[in-house]
A and B are shown apart, each in its own frame.
Chain A
Amino acid sequence: MFRQILFTQFRWTRTLLLLMAVFTFVVPTLSWNLGGNVFAAGLAPIAVMNGFSTVGPMLVLGAWTLGFLLVALPWGADSQSRHVYALSLPIPWSQYVAMRFGAGAITLLVPTLALWLGSWLVVAMIDMPPTLRAYPGLLALRFFLGTLLAYALSFLLQYLAGRRAAVVLLVLLVAVFGLGMGLSLANQHELLVRITLWFIDWPGPFSVFASEWRLIDV
C-alpha cells in the first residue's frame, strides 16, 4: 500500500526532485566559486570557512521551495478528481494523509543525497586546513530537516485550506507583516523580538533554520 503511494508520489514529483537534486549537488561548488575562490592550496582557515558562507542561505531557500512544491504537485493530482479516489480507498483518511506525508518525506532523501555527494566532492577538491573539518553529512541532515519542516507546514496549509491554500498563505504573510509593522510602530520592539525568538529559538518550529548550516567548521 505504502509502496504504491510512494510510487505515485515519486511519479508526480520526479522532475522537481531531479531539478532539486541537481541544485543541491552544485550548491557547494557554486558557493565556493561565487565567493571568488579557487581550489588553491594554503588558504587560511577563515578564508576556507567563509568560502562556503552562501551555502546556508541557498539551501534554506531551496528547502522552502522544495517543501512547498512537494506538497502542491501531489495535491494537484488528487484534487483533479476532488479527492474522490483517495476518499474511496478502504483506509481511514488520517492513515492516507499520513502515508502521503511519509511518502513525500522519503522523496526528500533524493536531493539530500545529492547534497551530501556534492559536498563530499567539493570538500575533496579543497586543501583543507588541519584545524577545520568538513560536515557534509551534518549539512545534508540539516537540509533534510529544514525541508521536512517546510514540507510539513506546507502540507498542513494545503490539507486544511484546500484550494484556498494560496489565499490563506497570502493572508498569513500579510498578517505577519502587519503584526511586525504594528508592533514596530507601537514601539513594542521587545515584544516583536520575543515573538520572533519564540519561533526561531529552540524548541521553536523554525529553530532548525536558525542553526548553523555550515559545510566547513572547526
Chain B
Amino acid sequence: MCESRATLPRRVAVGVLCIGLLGGSSRLTAQDSLLPARASAAALRAELDRAEREADSLKERVDALASEKEALFTGRFEAGGRTVRFIPGDLTDADRRIIEEGLTRAEASLRARYGDDLAPFRDPVVWSARSLGPNNPRGTFLSAHRRSNAYWGPRDFNMTQPTVELVEAIALDQAGRNLVDRAPRISEFTRSTLVLNDGRRRFARAGREMALSYASAGRECVAGSPAACRAVLTLPGADGGLSLYFSPADYRSVVTSGELPPTADSAQFAARRRCLAGSDTACVTAVAALSRVPNPFSGTLRSTAVEVALELGGRDAPTRLVTTRDGSALQILATVAGVTEDSLVRAWQQRVRTAMDAESPDAGRDGVTVAAWSLLILFGATRRKP
C-alpha cells in the first residue's frame, strides 16, 4: 500500500498515514523490545520479527482501508460482466469499450488456464484514470493502481491498444492479489504479490535476482543446485536465514546490508569495521551481532514459484491454494501443484533457467534495426550531388 502509485492527493494522504504508522511501529518496537533484548539476543530477534510482522499486517490493513476509502470516491460501471471501480477522470463511453475489451481478454486468459476456478477472486478491479490533456482527445491515460511504472503509449497517439493491454494486466494482477490475499501463508511467502499473465520476463528477472544475489543460495540455485533452490523458496527461521541462505563467504555482504541493534557495544562496532576492512573472522562476529538480517530474495521472486504450482496444479489449483492451510509455503504449493516438493522446486528451477536463457543479451534485434536505418539514411544521402 505504501508503495502504491495512485492519484497525487491519495498518494499524499496514504503516504502521511504510512509514515505515521511505520514510524510509530518502529519506535514502539524498539522501546518494547529493550528489556527482552537485554535478557537474550535470540529473544530480541524473535521479538523484532514479531513486531515486523505486526507492522506488515498494519500496513496491509492501512492499504485495505485506503482502498475502501478510495472506493467511496470512485466511479463504477459494469464491464465484461464485472463491476469495475475507478477514480473518475476522463473516462468516456469510448473508454468503457476499451476497458471491456481489456477485461474480456483477462477473463479469457484466466478461464483458459483455470476455468471458472478463479472467478471468485477476480473482483474488484480498481485503477485511477487521468487525461493526457485537452489537446489529446484520444489520450485518456490509465495508470495502474499498483503498477510501479507508468505505461506510456508506444509510437502513435492512439491509446486504444495500450489501454486494452493495461486493463488486461491490471485485471490479471488484481486477480492474483485477491487469490493470495486469501491464503495467508502464501501471502506472507510472496509478500502479497502474484501476477497471473505470461511471465517469462518475471522468471528471467527472478533468475537475475538470484544470479546477482549476495546470498550463495541464490547463485547456487541458478548454477544448478536444487537444494539451494529449495532454500531460496523457504522462508527464514529465527536467525533471519543466515544459515539458510548464506555461506561464510557471504558474511561481509550480509554485514554491509544488515543492521546492528541500537544496543550494540563498541566491540561489535569494531568487529563490523574489521569485517568490512577484510577480516573474515571479524565477519563471523559481526554477523552474529546483527539485529536483523534482511531477506536477500524478494516476494516477487518467490511468487514465480506460486505461478509454477498453479500451472502444474491445473484448473482447480486456485481453490486448493486457498483451502490448504497446513504446512510451510513450499508444502502448500506442492499440494496445489499435486507433486512432491522436490518436483516443484525442480520445475521452478527449470522454468527460471529456461527464461534466463531466452532473455540472455542478444544484439540481433539491434543489428536489424541499425542495418535498416543505415540503409534508409544511405538512400537519403545519395539523393543530392554536392
Q: A residues near B, CB below 8 A?
A: 42, 44-46, 49, 79, 82-83, 87, 93-94, 97-98, 101, 105, 129-132, 135, 138, 141-142, 145-146, 148-149, 152-153, 155-156, 159-160, 162, 187-188, 190-191, 193-194, 197-198, 201-205, 207-208, 211-212, 214, 217-218
Classify chain B's interface size.
Answer: 35 or more
Expressed in whole angstroms, the minimum distance between the Cβ of B352 and any Cβ of chain A is 11
**Contacting A131 at CB < 8 Å: which of B154, B211, B377, B384?**
B211
A188 contacts which chain B residues (CB < 8 A)? 133, 135
For the complex, give the distance between the alpha carbons of A130 and B383 in Å.
53
For the complex, give the distance between the alpha carbons of A172 and B262 in Å.
58
B372 touches A203 (CB 8 A): yes
* A194-B153 CB under 8 A given contacts A97-B381, A131-B212, A218-B356: yes
Expressed in whole angstroms, the minimum distance between the Cβ of A145 and any Cβ of chain B is 4
**Contacting B211 at CB < 8 Å: which of A45, A83, A105, A159?**
A45
* Centre residue among B208, B222, B385 by max chain A CB count within 10 A: B385
A45 touches B212 (CB 8 A): yes
For the complex, give the distance between the alpha carbons of A114 and B157 in Å.
43
Q: Interface of chain A, helix or strand or loop or mixed?
A: helix
* Centre residue among B154, B210, B369 by max chain A CB count within 10 A: B369
B370 contacts which chain A residues (CB < 8 A)? 145-146, 148-149, 208
For the complex, give the distance between the alpha carbons of A142 and B363 in Å.
7
For the complex, give the distance between the alpha carbons of A204 and B367 in Å.
12
B383 touches A160 (CB 8 A): yes
* A160-B380 CB under 8 A given contacts A79-B386, A197-B154: yes
B211 touches A211 (CB 8 A): no
A191 contacts which chain B residues (CB < 8 A)? 132, 136
For the complex, give the distance between the alpha carbons of A156 and B381 in Å.
5
For the complex, give the distance between the alpha carbons of A105 and B212 in Å.
37
**Contacting B223 at CB < 8 Å: which of A131, A135, A141, A146?**
A131
A152 touches B374 (CB 8 A): yes
B208 contacts which chain A residues (CB < 8 A)? 218
